[in-house]
Structure 1
Amino acid sequence: MRGVVMYAPGDVRVEEREDPRIIEPTDAVIRLAATCICGSDLWPYRGIEPVDHTPMGHEYVGVVEEIGSEVKNLKVGDFVVGSFVISDNTCEICQSGFQSKCVHAEFVAATIGTQAEKARIPQADGTLVPTPGQPTPDMIPHLLAASDVLGTGWFAAVAAKAGPGKTVAVVGDGAVGLMAILAAKQLGAERIIAMSRHPERQKLARYYGATDIVEERGEAGIEKIKELTGGLGAHSVVEAVGTQESFMQAVGATRGGGHLGYVGVNYEVSIPGIQMFFAGIHALGGPAPVRRFLPELIQLIWEGKIDPGKVFDLTLPLEEAAEGYKAMDERRATKVLLTL
């Protein structure tokens, strides 16, 4: 099969990879209908995270081609959406809603790589969710978004306690931040402040439910949020970038007693303990338990109530994956969909 391999920072190639096969009886093999490039894929691309001939990709939708002998909830021919973290969905941690910390947790990107024609998915019953039927082609980008970026933005909004009567501030206008805006709107937030300097992303933020746009950053951004909230700060803040500046801006924008949901992968963030201590806020984040939300998100997409696939602003064939990485790295694209 054809698949994306990152040889070294900035060196992305599409080459022949071994076809996946059933190894464990709980496995499934799927033929992908679409895949995409994640903002977190830019960490190794930029040399911040180690990479060496690594299969890439962790967002995926497709059709089940083969199942192991212990797979009970899926059948060959099912169209499925999967989480970017493998989970059994039955352990105590999963049952508490944190499938990304499952006792069998395994990052899809670390061992599988779904920027490819096919993929082996371990713990298939716990990781894959079948759609109500076969989707139309125009539904596939929306379902693909649910595999990570929508689920991550949704978790961030839930972690931040977005809801009726709340003012939500979203730090970051990338794909996850935009999905957090969509989620906050669906959860009933009264006011949604998008922090963005990018005109096209501002338009999409407005489309998904943002009521205000703040272009200032750092301390100036914090002061602007406070100015818009009577000097108090937002009830709910989403941090969807993962840099030192964005994280501290999110902390500063959260009112006393408010909630911060952080989902930006933060390799270089150092949190001053004394500042967090005196902030007096709730904070919850980390890798999103996407599997927890997949049934609900798939149903919302199936019924046409949300359209997260609009976050894909560049579509390329799998063979042109290197150009997709370059476009996202240079901020010429928010999120790249790869067709198969």
Structure 2
Amino acid sequence: MRAALMYQAGDVRIENVPDSRIKHPTDALVRITASCICGSDLHPYHRMTTDDGPARMGHELIGIVEETGAAVTTLKKGDLVVSPFAISDNVCEFCRENLQTSCTHAHAAFWDGIEDEGGQAEAVRVPLADGTLVKLPVAPDSELIPSLLTLADVFGTGYHAAKTAGIIPGQKVTVIGDGAVGLMAVLSAKRLGAEQIVLMGRHKARTDLGREFGATDVVAERGEEGIARVRELTGGHGTHAVLEAVGHMPAYEQAVGVVRPGGVISRVGVPQFEEAPVGFASLFGRNIRLAGGPAPVRAYIEELMPDILEGTINPGKVFDATTDLDGVPAGYQDMDERPSLKVLVRP
């Protein structure tokens, strides 16, 4: 079968690899019908060394179950399923607390920790299939597939930012980052009833989509100028919640600058730094809370799916380009250079 492999920074190739197969009784073999390139895939695309490659890529997928291990009880051949980016049994102590990213029985919680598997491929072996996979009540060619695919990561991640921020109706919210996760955070803040949503982003096509998703204001400025603009828009105090969807230190510094006293900063952008100010002058002195983390998207799929099925929301609009497997290397380049927001892959 064919799959995407990253050899080093900027070097993604489509190659023939050994067919995925059942290895454990709890596995399922899934033929992939839709996947995508994630903004977090661009981190290794920028800095991976040859020592770390080649690595299979992709952690968001929809597909058809082709085979199940002997211990799998909730799935059968022919089921259309969506897979979150984290593997979980969905029954352990942490999973029951809706923290599937810390599942005690997932030896490799994330797809990039599973040897010789990845979502940008023709097929994949899914460990702990009963807990990880969720059946979809649509056909593989449904027009809802792009939106349902966002449940694998990007929508659930944006929702996690809003959820852990504790957004309630009437609040003011700032979203930092106009990538796909940031736009999903806008959609999620709107869904939870935020009254004012300030989107900090500089790319008009993306911020226009952010307005469609619910942003009331757009701030293109960065740094101190951007902070001052957000405070001007929010009566001088800043916002109750800041959803940081970038992961770089300047974004965190903007978050500290625009959050109001007693507010919360919720971070879901994969952090590219370890040290961040949390002391008296930054968070402690203003009673600001810090939340977020890798989203347990499995916990949100059943909650968010009905709105997609009913047509209430259309998160699939974040996909502005579609390609097949052969086009994946160019898709990485387009997302890196910004012509594309998020690339849908149809193997």
Aligned to 1:249: 254
Establish whether residue 236 from structure 1 lines up as the match of residue 220 from structure 2: no
Corresponding position of 1:21: 21
Residues in 1 aligned to 2:113 and 2:13: alpha-carbon distance in whole angstroms? 17
1:162 aligns to what SS in structure 2? coil
Aligned to 2:203: 198
Shift of 1:231: 1.6
Secondary structure of the structure 1 residue equivalent to 2:183: helix
Residues 1-340 of structure 1 aligned to structure 2 (within 5 Å): 1-47=1-47, 51-105=52-106, 106-111=109-114, 112-134=117-139, 136-274=141-279, 275-340=282-347
CA contact (8 A) 1:35 1:338 kept: yes
| Off by >4 Å, runs of 4+ in structure 1 | none
- 1:73 offset after TM fit, Å? 1.5
AA aligned opposite 2:283:
M
Q: Over the residues paired in the alignment, what is the CA RMSD in angstroms?
A: 1.4
The answer on whether the counterparts of 1:62 and 1:81 sit within 8 Å (CA) in structure 2 is yes
Of 53-62 and 215-224, more deviation after overlay is shown by 215-224
Q: Matches of 1:65 and 1:282 in 2, distance apart?
A: 46
**Aligned pairs, number:** 340
Q: Which runs of 5+ in 2 are unaligned?
A: none
Query: Alpha-carbon deviation of 1:163?
Result: 2.5
SS in 2 for 1:156: helix
Q: Is the 8 A contact 2:249 2:272 kept in 1?
A: no
Deviations 1:44-100 (A, max 9, x none): 110168731000000001111111111112121111111100011111111111111
TM-score normalised by structure 1 residue count: 0.97
| Contact 1:234 1:253 survives alignment (8 Å) | yes
User: In terms of mean alpha carbon deviation, does 222-231 or 35-44 score higher?
Assistant: 222-231
Pairwise CA distance, 1:131: 1.3
Matched to 1:177, the amino acid is G
Q: Is the contact between residue 239 and residue 250 of structure 1 (CA under 8 Å) also seen in structure 2? A: yes
Pair 163,136 (structure 1): closer, same or farther in 2 beyond 3 Å: farther
Percent identity, please.
Answer: 51
Task: Tell me the CA shift for residue 136 of structure 1.
Answer: 4.1
- Any idea what the Cα deviations from partners look like across 1:143-168, whole Å, max 9, x if unmatched? 11111001100111111122201111
CA contact (8 A) 1:59 1:144 kept: yes
Q: Is the 8 A contact 1:84 1:109 kept in 2?
A: no
TM-score by length of 2: 0.95
Q: Distance in 2 between matches of 1:110 and 1:129?
A: 21
